[in-house]
Amino acid sequence: MSTLIQPAPMGAPASAAPPPGDAFLRFENVSKVYPTATGPYTVLDAIDMAVNQGEFMCVIGHSGCGKSTLLNMVSGFATPTEGQVILHGNRITKPGPDRMVVFQGYALLPWFTAYENVYLAVDSVKPDLPEREKKEITREHLAMVGLTEAAEKKILQLSGGMKQRVAIARALAIRPEVLILDEPFGALDAITKEELQEELLTIWNTQKCTVLMITHDIDEALFLADRLVMMTNGPAAKIGEIMDISFPRPRNREEIMEDPLYYDLRNQALDFLYSRFAHDDTAD
Amino acid sequence: MVPTSSRRPGASISPLRWLTRSSGSWLPPLLGTGGFLLLWQILSSAGVIALPAPSSLFTEERTRTLIFYPFYDRGGLDKGLFWQTMASLSRVAQGYTLAALVGIAVGITIGLKPTINRAFDPLFQFLRMVAPLAWVPIALVLFQNNQPAAIFVIFITAIWPILINTAEGVRQIPQDYRNVALVLQMSSRRFFTKVLIPSALPYIFTGLRISIGLAWLAIIAAEIVMPGTLGIGFFIWDAYQQNYVGEIVLGVIWIGAIGLVLDRLMAWLQTRISPGQ
Ligand SMILES: Nc1ncnc2c1ncn2[C@@H]1O[C@H](COP(=O)(O)OP(=O)(O)OP(=O)(O)O)[C@@H](O)[C@H]1O
Ligand SMILES: [Mg+2]
């Protein structure tokens, strides 16, 4: 399996990467430096990456390496210190509904019901739509995540899995071009997690938005993603490697796990995370 | 399997048994209050303190009339405690409503804008320490007129907890909720009604509850500046000047009771309106 490891740090397979000049979403020489008490702290250093429209990208890397920071520059909650992030040829400067986020802590409004949370998003983004249509969109997206029954429940009455479903329904109901998920299933039990992964894939198959998702789970990435971005350790993290995950879609968990490629890819990722960029190492 | 001789709980308990069982909750306050009244009775009968004994509130002609006929109305200021209270309450309601409106509005502003907060916080912290009574001469100079001066004293006493708690509530809006509003590009009006107010509401209510007590406490100070008007505050002041000590005691007990009712009312409203979070 060691033969699969790409020697070059920027070893993204050329076949999958779009020509950088006109990619749908691209990071151009993006660095992020935070000023701290002990002087400037470089989180990300000169990131270059291109993402195709409709692609499902997963990002993996050790805690604190800058995954959230990377995606925050797409959602617009953080701005690059150097370089720029370009979507559709336009530089990203602030948050907007075309880049919807599924937040790490769900960020649902507890004084509203599941239905009201989704409706509020639809109504905020598309206020001019006829009332009937906004209600229809809300119901439709709650149904997609299997929450028709629980729609009228207050957020506090929902389980963690149900909350995450509402958050996903809310994010997709406004039809974003890019969907950003920051470790969405980390806090869920194994069964709920697999259910939600499948639901997410099903919905993504119908909407074909571009997905950027942070995960700590290699199997999750292998099941969901077209490509897996593996980041080196911070400070000054870089993209170590981008792995192509070419299983045909629609995917079936059992089938891909029988594919010998699955284990090659899995070992490649494990080797990256636990040998070449093991957590204790300071990247150099 | 374990043999038990005691009866099932809830099965026909005699009233006496029930009384002894629940006594844990009502006995201590009863003993405490009763003991206090008894001590007071003994001390004033023995002449140790100059206050009339609690029993004299019922034996003395003036206070007995006030207790048993709260609705009497002999014109002018000679009215029952109910009318005195209503006059005071309407005054408190005006000052308090004004304090709530201004306090919430200013609280939201300084909660949203740290610079404005930094500019005015020292001033607010200073002003809120000024006692209601100290505001009286200032109010009179400011307004030259009793009625607005009294309302101002209530207003200025009640506003600070509302203002400070509202500002804190706005500052405490979780960043996650703000981020949702940002990514959805909510209009500020929508952010205000759907996120800010519901999120800050528990804090606002805490302020409102503290303030209703303070507003009521300020009533005596407020009504001292209004000689010759109907109201429980002036009633006490008047009784003091005419040396009707029994009336003073009754008035003070009455004020305490009304304050308690107002506080309970706000607490109840708080649990009803404030969403469970
Ligand atoms: N506002 C900030 N000021 C200073 N340092 C920051 C700030 N935000 C993040 N950092 C630092 O940047 C680094 C990357 O943070 P980031 O949240 O992007 O990591 P992450 O890869 O998402 O980690 P995790 O997997 O634990 O979520 C961390 O070392 C963090 O301490
Ligand atoms: Mg993170």
Identify the CA nearest to A240 among candidates A268, A212, A220, A261. Answer: A268
Task: For chain B, give the percent of residues with pLDDT over 70.
Answer: 94
Searching chain B, which residue's CA lies closest to the CA of residue A76?
B183
Task: Determine which residue's CA is closest to atom 26 belonging to ligand 1.
Answer: A63
Compute, in angstroms, the gap from residue A231 CA to the centroid of ligand 2: 13
Position B12 confidence tier, pLDDT thresholds 50, 70, 90: low
Determine the Cα–Cα distance for residues A58 and A197; give it in Å rounded to an integer. 13
Would you state the pLDDT for residue A280? 60
Q: Does B276 have pLDDT greater than 70?
A: no
Residue A134: CB atoms within 10 A of its CB come to 20
Dump pLDDT digits (tens) for A18-27: 555 678 999 9
Closest to B229 in 3D by CA, of B95, B92, B99, B79: B79
Q: Measure CB to CB from residue B276 to each of A101, A105, A156 and give the nearest one.
A: A156
Q: Is A36 in the pocket of ligand 1 (CB under 6 A)?
A: yes
The neighbouring-strand residues paired with A32 are A44
Q: Give the C-alpha separation, B145 to A18, whole Å.
A: 79
CA of B77 to the centre of ligand 1 (A): 70
Residue A61: pLDDT over 50? yes
- B72 vs A73: which has the higher pLDDT: A73
The predicted pLDDT at position A44 comes to 93
Tell me which of B86 and B26 has the higher pLDDT. B86
Candidate of A42, A62, A63, A65 to mutate for ligand 1, largest count of ligand atoms within 8 Å of Cβ: A65
Nearest-CA distance from A114 to chain B in Å?
A: 14
What is the crossing angle of helices B61-68 and B245-273, to 10°?
A: 20
Report the SS3 class of residue A180: strand
Nearest ligand, measured from the Cα of A38: 1
- Tell me what ipTM this predicted complex has: 0.85
Between CA A39 and CA A49 the distance in angstroms is: 28
Selected residue of B172, B183, B188 to mutate for chain A interface (largest A Cβ count, 10 A): B183
| Residue A71's pLDDT band (cuts 50, 70, 90) | very high
pLDDT at A9: 41
Residue type, A102: V
**pLDDT value at position A240?**
87
Q: What integer pLDDT is reported at residue B275 of this predicted model? A: 53
Over residues A91-112, mean pLDDT: 93
Of all protein residues, whose CA lies closest to atom 16 belonging to ligand 1?
A66
pLDDT tens column, A195-213: 999 999 988 888 889 999 9
Closest residue of B to A121, CA-based?
B184
Q: What is the pLDDT of residues B94-105, one digit of tens each?
A: 999 999 999 999
Full 3-state SS string of chain B: CCCCCCCCCCCCCCHHHHHHHHHHHHHHHHHHHHHHHHHHHHHHHCCCCCCCCCCHHHHCHHHHHHHHCCCCECCCCCECHHHHHHHHHHHHHHHHHHHHHHHHHHHHHHHHCHHHHHHHHHHHHHHCCCCHHHHHHHHHHHHCCHHHHHHHHHHHHHHHHHHHHHHHHHHCCCHHHHHHHHHCCCCHHHHHHHHHHHHHHHHHHHHHHHHHHHHHHCHHHHHHCCCCCCCHHHHHHHHHHCCCHHHHHHHHHHHHHHHHHHHHHHHHHHHHHCCCC
Q: Is the pLDDT of residue B61 over 50?
A: yes
Give whichever of A236-250, A261-275, B136-150, B156-170 has the largest mean pLDDT: B156-170
What integer best gives the mean pLDDT of chain B?
87
